[in-house]
Amino acid sequence: MEIKNADWYDLLQDTNWTPKYVTEEELFPPQLSDPYGIPVSEWETFDEPYKVTYRDYVKTQREKDVGAYSVKAAVSRVDFYKQADPGWKAVLQMHFGAVPFLEFGSVSAFARITRFGRGPGMRNMANFGTLDEIRHTQIQMYFAYEFLSVDRAFDWCQKGLNTDNWVIMSERHCFDDIEHTRDAVTSAVMLNFAFEQGFTNLQFVALSADAKRYGDFSFATMLQTVQSDEARHSQIGEPLIEILVRNGRKEEAQKLVDISFWRVWKQFSALSGIAFDYYTPLAHREFSLKEFVQEFVTTQFLRNLKALGLDKPWYWDEYFVPDVETYHHAQQIGIYMYRDTEWWDPIAGVSPQEREWLEKKYPGWNDTYGKVWDVITENAAKGRTERLTPTIIPVMCGMTGFELTGVAGSKWNVKDYTLDLDGRRYHFGSPVDKWIFEQDPARYKNYYGFTDRLANGMIPADEGLFEYMGMSPEERGTCGMGFKWADPVKRAA
C-alpha cells in the first residue's frame, strides 16, 4: 500500500510542543520571534503553499544541480568569456561580485526564521530556504571561480563582502537592514515578500532571458535553478501577512512592505537596471527595465499585495512610477564616470544605435540624460581623458548609499532632502528615503556612509581611498571598451 504525502504531511509537520525545561518566552524570545504578540494558536494556522518533504526536496534539488552543472561542463566557459562582448563581461563581473554574498546572507536570515518562527509550517519552509540559499551561494561561487584565471574581477565574488567598497557598502546597508537585524516575522515580510516576491524575478528570470538570447546558456540555466527555489521559499510571505492582517497588524505589515520594497527597488534599479538597459548587447536585448518592472512588479507583485489585503505603498504613484523611468539612467552616468572605484569594467552603452533604443524605450531620454552623454561623448571622442575621470566625490544618499541624482538636462530636478538630528545633517536622495529614516532614527542615525566617512577623515584621500576600499591598481574598473564607443562620433566630426 502506498501512503501519499498528503495523508501524513499535516500530522508530521505539527512540531509545536509545550516546553518543560524552559518557559515559552525563553524558547521564543519575542524580540527574535514575534514582537507583534500573535497568539500561538494563530501561528499554527500558517498553511504553507508548497508542501515539500525532505526526500522530495533533495531529489528535485539534485536534478536542478545536475542540469546546471552538465550545461556548464559541456561548454568551455573560459573561451566563451574571453570572446564575450564587453557589455556582457560587465554583466557577469558585476553580478558575481554583487549577488553571491547576498545569497550567503540569506542563509543566516532563513536560519533565523527556521529557529525562531512560531508557525511549524513557516519553520519548515524556512528550513528548505536555508538549504536553497546555501546552494545559491555555492553554485554561483563555483561558476565565478572558473573565470578567475582570466579576470581578477571574479575575485570579488569572495572578497567583495569583506571590503568597504562603496557599492558593497550600499548593498550591505540595505540588506543588513531588511535581513539581518530584525526578528523572524519582520525579516520574513521584508525578505520573503518584498525582496524575493517583489524583485528576484528581475535578476533571475529577466536576466536569464537576456543571457539565453545572448547565448550564455550555462549562466541562464544556473539563474533558472536559483529562481525556481526563490519561487518556492518566497511564499513564506503570503500566509504570514494574512496572519498579521487578520490579527489587527495590517498597519505594521504595510509599513514593513513600504520600507523594504523601496530599499530593495533602489538596489535593483541601479544594478539590474544598468545591466538590462546599458550592458546587455543591443542585438540581444529585448525588454527594458521599465518593461520588466511592468510585468513582474507592477502587475504580479501589486496583484499579490492587494490579494493579501494590503495597499500599494504610499509613494507608488508619486515617486516609484517616475523612478522606474529615471533612477538607473542617472546612476549609469555616475557608475560609468567613477568606474575606477568599481571592481567591474563598466561600459557607456550610448553609441548612436543604443541611444535610439533608449529614446524609443524611454521617450525624452535624449533631451535629459542624453545631454550629459553629449558632453561625455565629445570628451571621449576628442581624447580628453582627464575630463572622463571626476576628481570630486559626489554627495551620497544616507539611505541608499548611491549618488544623489535626479533628472538631468531640460527637466533638471536634482534635490538634496536633508534632515537635522543631534547636531548632524543627513542627506537623502528622495522623500521616501528620508521617510524611512524618520520611521526609526535610532536604527540608522549612527551609520556613516561613504561620503560621511570621507568628510570626517575616516577615509584617506587619493590613493588611500582605493586602499580603504581594498582595491589594488589592477582591481579598479576601466572603460570596458577603452573609449572606442565614441569612435563613430569621432569619425562624424
CA–CA distance, 136 with 99 (Å, rounded to integer): 10
Rounded least distance, CB 137 to Mn ion, Å: 8
Identity of the residue numbered 116: F
Phi first, then psi: what are they for 428, rounded to 5°?
-135, 150
| Candidate list 136, 285, 328, 339; residue touching Mn ion; CB under 5 A | 136
**Nearer to Mn ion by C-beta: 227 or 451?**
227
Distance CA 288, CA 429 (A): 24
Residues 218-257 that bind Mn ion (CB under 5 A): 230
What are phi and psi for residue 454, nearest 5 degrees?
-65, -45
In the complex, the smallest distance separating the C-beta of residue 320 from Mn ion, rounded to whole angstroms, is 23
Considering the complex, what minimum distance in angstroms separates the CB of residue 22 from Mn ion? 31
179 is a contact residue toward Mn ion (CB under 5 A): no
- CB-wise, 116 or 373, nearer to Mn ion? 116
| Residue 294, CA distances (Å) to 103, 202, 280 in order | 25, 11, 19
User: CB-wise, 231 or 388, nearer to Mn ion?
Assistant: 231
Residue in 338, 334, 340, 279 with CA at minimum distance from that of residue 475: 340
CB distance 256 to 208 below 8 Å? no
Q: Say how far apart CA 349 and CA 329 lie, in whole Å.
A: 11
For residue 88, give the amino acid letter.
Answer: W
Q: Nearest Cα to 92, choosing from 227, 218, 270, 264?
A: 218
- Binding footprint of Mn ion, residue count (CB under 5 A): 4
As a three-state string, the secondary structure of 321-340 is HHHHHHHHHHHHHHHHHCHH
Q: Quote the Cα angle for 467-468-473, to 5°.
A: 25
Which residue is listed with cell 555616475? 334
**Closest approach of Mn ion to the CB of residue 81, in Å:** 23
| 195 versus 262: smaller Cβ distance to Mn ion | 195
Give the residue with the Cβ less far from Mn ion, 133 or 210: 133
Measured from the CB of residue 48, what is the shortest distance to Mn ion in angstroms?
Answer: 15
How many whole angstroms separate alpha carbon 92 and alpha carbon 82? 12
Distance CA(179)–CA(175), nearest Å, equals 5
426: part of which helix (H) or strand (E)? strand 424-428
Nearer to Mn ion, 132 or 151 (CB): 132
Residue with cell 524570545: 29
HEC readout, 133-180: HHHHHHHHHHHHHCCCCCCHHHHHHHHHHHCCCHHHHHHHHHHHHHHH
Q: Please report how close the Cβ of residue 401 comes to Mn ion at its closest, in angstroms.
A: 22
**CB contact at 8 A, 405 and 429:** yes
Least Cβ distance, residue 262 to Mn ion (angstroms): 19
Cα–Cα distance, 465 to 164 (Å, whole number):
10
Q: Which residue is nearest to Mn ion (CB)?
A: 136
Return the number of the residue (230 or 258) whose C-beta is nearest Mn ion.
230
Stretch that binds Mn ion, among 131-139, 284-292, 325-333, 401-409 (CB under 5 A): 131-139
In the structure grid, which three cell numbers stand for residue 37, read together? 504578540
Is 128 or 147 the residue whose CB approaches Mn ion more closely? 128
Nearest distance from residue 89's CB to Mn ion, in Å?
Answer: 23
Q: Could you give the string, one character per residue 325-344, with x where binding to Mn ion holds by CB under 5 A and - elsewhere? A: --------------------
- Name which of 175 and 362 has its Cβ closer to Mn ion: 175
Q: Cβ closer to Mn ion: 103 or 403?
A: 103
d(CA 192, CA 234): 4
User: Rounded distance, CA 424 to CA 253, Å?
Assistant: 31
For Mn ion, the closer of residues 230 and 325 by Cβ is 230
Taking the complex as a whole, the smallest distance from the CB of residue 43 to Mn ion amounts, in Å, to 22
CB of 488 to Mn ion, least distance (A): 41
Question: What's the rounded Cα separation, in Å, for the pair 113 and 117?
Answer: 5
State the nearest-atom distance from the C-beta of 233 to Mn ion, in Å.
6
Nearer Cβ to Mn ion (241/469)? 241
- Rounded to a whole number of angstroms, the minimum distance from the CB of residue 92 to Mn ion is 18
- Least distance in angstroms from the C-beta of 1 to Mn ion: 38
Q: How many CB atoms lie within 10 A of CB 37?
A: 9
- Which of 129, 370 has the CB closer to Mn ion? 129
User: Which 84-113 positions form the footprint of Mn ion (CB under 5 A)?
Assistant: 103
**Which of 57-65, 92-100, 130-138, 395-403 is the region at the interface with Mn ion (rule: CB under 5 A)?**
130-138
Residue position matching grid coordinates 516575522: 185
- Where do contacts with Mn ion occur on this chain (CB under 5 A)? 103, 133, 136, 230
